[in-house]
């Protein structure tokens, strides 16, 4: 039983009664305080949070997230789906084409469309960050903020700290919303989380950067709720990246509409029986208001719950199984030397959590391969690692890979739940000789419990960004992000991306 839920449904201020919120006219009672609802608490938070609320840890972690997200976005600008989305938007053509596009020097689009294509880039290869509860938070927020930053006049660009504040607001709101549901803590089955909370996060971040007042912030969230929600079935297809692109774009649109005065439900985040708001996206929804910043010390969620950065472009679950398979690969190579030959292998057993959309015995496309326990295990078994190149067409069709794939069996142990905080990956290879080799991974390198070192993160960035930018720009970007909280304005960051 959630006291706050009960409170919000007994909301009886004069204002709300006048708005006719489901109470008999004769029951109207006078009461002040517009802060009672969950929704208004969110609006208030977004409007009132300041740079000084950001702790060093929060600063450090968010800068890492910004760096990684830019990198995967730049790499993603080389994909087919990105090219497609870009063509689509160029056809749409905008007069206020002021915002940059990743990896396309000189090309500009309107802010919303730039947010869209850059968001698609960020998620195009499933290389972007993952959080707990599960979502890809940065890809939904960063493109929108960068697009807006391009909108500001050259003399009044936001400072690095303002930018980081807005970014963290966007991440924070996502984290808060996911904690309203137990269902959200597991690998998703129904709605793709970035399309649910990502849109809300983008709206919040944009509202913050645009300095909207608290009512406008609440409205931005409510408008965004009507733009949220895409079903899981489109994961592992070419359309999945659009979920992040749309989250970014639509959150920005929601903020812009709110800034023009559009209003929506003032109770969208509250749990009102009989009329679903944001609760529509969950089976179990129990919201809580964010405490007022004037009365409480606000602790950002990223402070206590770090984020995972991927080492290769595939669904997070793949990282456990790849690391487990790499252990076996090393053992095999140690025994026989050279490369691993499929002829040695009789059977491969994978022990993984039960999750239909990442259980694919014979993936046909790169999108499917990024969502296949079997594919990633066999690749790591063969090569000792999974890389960006592992998902290229030639790699997908290797006969030795296909040979291994046909020998894979999958088990779903009861102690291996579909939860990124608890799951593990186990690979058991039976050789024709009768030997059985095992590898297990509880926490892959890059998981929030074992985060990438700053060196590893920068290495990933250099490799990604270097695919489309000169070394000079790559280094300047690293520098700009590293010093973001000290920049008077974020021009140095934007300049490298134009």
The region of 144-152, 333-341, 402-410, 428-436 touching another protein under the rule CB under 8 A is: 402-410
Angle at 111 between CA 91 and CA 73, to 5 degrees: 85
Minimum distance, C-beta of residue 361 to another protein, in the bound complex (Å): 8
The residues that bridge with 409 in the sheet, in sequence order, are 349
Q: Confirm or reject binding of residue 229 to another protein (CB under 8 A).
A: yes
Show Cβ contacts of residue 346 under 8 Å, excluding neighbours closer than 6 positions.
407, 430, 431, 432
- C-alpha–C-alpha distance, residues 120 and 143, integer Å: 9
Nearer to another protein, 3 or 25 (CB): 25
x/- track of binding to another protein for residues 28-67 (CB under 8 A):
x---------------------------------------
Stretch of 56-64, 249-257, 340-348, 468-476 contacting another protein, by CB under 8 A: 249-257
| DSSP codes, 314-331 | S-HHHHHHHHHHHHHHHH
Fill in the DSSP letter of residue 388.
G
The answer to whether 228 contacts another protein (rule: CB under 8 A) is: yes
Q: How far is the CB of 29 from another protein (least distance, A)?
A: 13
Radius of gyration from C-alpha coordinates of the chain: 24
Residue of the chain from 91, 153, 414, 486 that contacts another protein (CB under 8 A): 91
Q: Minimum CB separation from another protein for residue 33, in Å? A: 19
Residue numbers 364-393 binding another protein by CB under 8 A: 364
> Is 222 among the residues that bind another protein (CB under 8 A)?
yes
Q: Is 279 in the site for another protein (CB under 8 A)?
A: yes
144-183 binders of another protein (CB under 8 A) = none
Asked if 84 interacts with another protein (CB under 8 A), we say yes
DSSP annotation of 235 reads T
Q: Is 397 in the site for another protein (CB under 8 A)?
A: yes
DSSP-H helix ranges across 387-470: 393-396, 399-405, 454-465
Candidates 201-209, 210-218, 235-243, 460-468: pick the segment binding another protein (CB under 8 A): 235-243
DSSP 167: H
Looking at the Cβ atoms of 107 and 293, the one nearer to another protein is 107
Residue 464, φ and ψ in degrees, nearest 5: -70, -55
The one segment of 12-20, 134-142, 156-164, 308-316 that binds another protein by CB under 8 A = 12-20
DSSP symbols for 247-285? HHHHHHHHHHHHHTT----TTTTS-BTTB-SGGGG-SS-
Is the Cα dihedral 244, 249, 250, 254 positive or negative? positive
Q: Which is nearer to another protein, 96 or 284 (CB)?
A: 96
Are the beta carbons of 119 and 244 closer than 8 angstroms? yes
Q: 345-351 and 99-100: which strand pairing?
A: unpaired
CB-wise, 258 or 328, nearer to another protein?
A: 258
């Amino acid at each position: 039983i959630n006291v706050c839920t009960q409170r919000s449904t007994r909301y009886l201020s004069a204002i709300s009664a006048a708005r006719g919120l489901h109470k008999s006219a004769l029951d109207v009672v006078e009461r002040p305080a517009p802060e009672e609802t969950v929704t208004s608490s969110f609006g208030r938070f977004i409007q009132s949070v300041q740079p000084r609320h950001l702790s060093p840890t929060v600063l450090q972690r968010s800068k890492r997230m910004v760096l990684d997200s830019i990198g995967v976005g730049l790499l993603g600008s080389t994909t087919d789906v990105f090219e497609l989305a870009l063509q689509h938007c160029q056809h749409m053509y905008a007069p206020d084409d002021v915002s940059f596009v990743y990896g396309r020097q000189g090309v500009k689009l309107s802010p919303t469309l730039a947010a869209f294509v850059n968001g698609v880039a960020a998620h195009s290869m499933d290389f972007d960050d993952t959080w707990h509860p599960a979502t890809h938070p940065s890809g939904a927020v960063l493109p929108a903020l960068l697009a807006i930053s391009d909108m500001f006049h050259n003399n009044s660009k936001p400072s690095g700290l303002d930018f980081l504040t807005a970014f963290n607001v966007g991440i924070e709101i996502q984290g808060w919303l996911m904690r309203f549901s137990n269902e959200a803590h597991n690998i998703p089955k129904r709605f793709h989380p970035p399309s649910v909370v990502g849109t809300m996060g983008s709206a919040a971040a944009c509202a913050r950067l645009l300095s909207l007042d608290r009512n406008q912030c609440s409205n931005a969230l409510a408008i965004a709720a009507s733009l949220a929600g895409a079903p899981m079935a489109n994961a592992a297809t070419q359309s999945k990246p659009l979920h992040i692109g749309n989250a970014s774009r639509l959150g920005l649109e929601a903020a812009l509409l709110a800034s023009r005065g559009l209003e929506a439900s003032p109770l969208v985040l509250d749990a009102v029986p009989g009329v679903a708001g944001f609760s529509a996206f969950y089976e179990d929804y129990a919201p809580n208001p964010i405490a007022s910043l004037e009365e409480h010390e606000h602790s950002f969620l990223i402070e206590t719950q770090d984020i995972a950065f991927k080492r290769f472009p595939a669904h997070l679950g793949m990282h456990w199984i790849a690391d487990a398979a790499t252990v076996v690969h090393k053992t095999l190579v140690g025994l026989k030397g050279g490369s691993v030959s499929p002829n040695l292998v009789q059977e491969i057993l994978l022990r993984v959590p039960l999750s239909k959309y990442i259980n694919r015995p014979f993936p046909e496309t790169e999108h499917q391969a990024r969502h296949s326990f079997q594919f990633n295990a066999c690749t790591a078994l063969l090569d000792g690692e999974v890389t960006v190149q592992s998902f290229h067409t030639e790699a997908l069709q290797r006969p030795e890979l296909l040979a291994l794939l046909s020998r894979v069996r999958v088990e779903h142990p009861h102690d291996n739940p579909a939860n990124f905080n608890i799951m593990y990956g186990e690979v058991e290879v039976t050789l024709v000789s009768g030997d059985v080799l095992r590898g297990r991974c509880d926490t892959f390198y890059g998981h929030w419990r074992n985060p990438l070192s700053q060196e590893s993160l920068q290495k990933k960035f250099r490799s990604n960004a270097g695919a489309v930018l000169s070394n000079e720009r790559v280094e300047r970007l690293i520098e700009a992000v590293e010093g973001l909280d000290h920049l008077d304005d974020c021009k140095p960051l934007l300049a490298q991306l134009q």
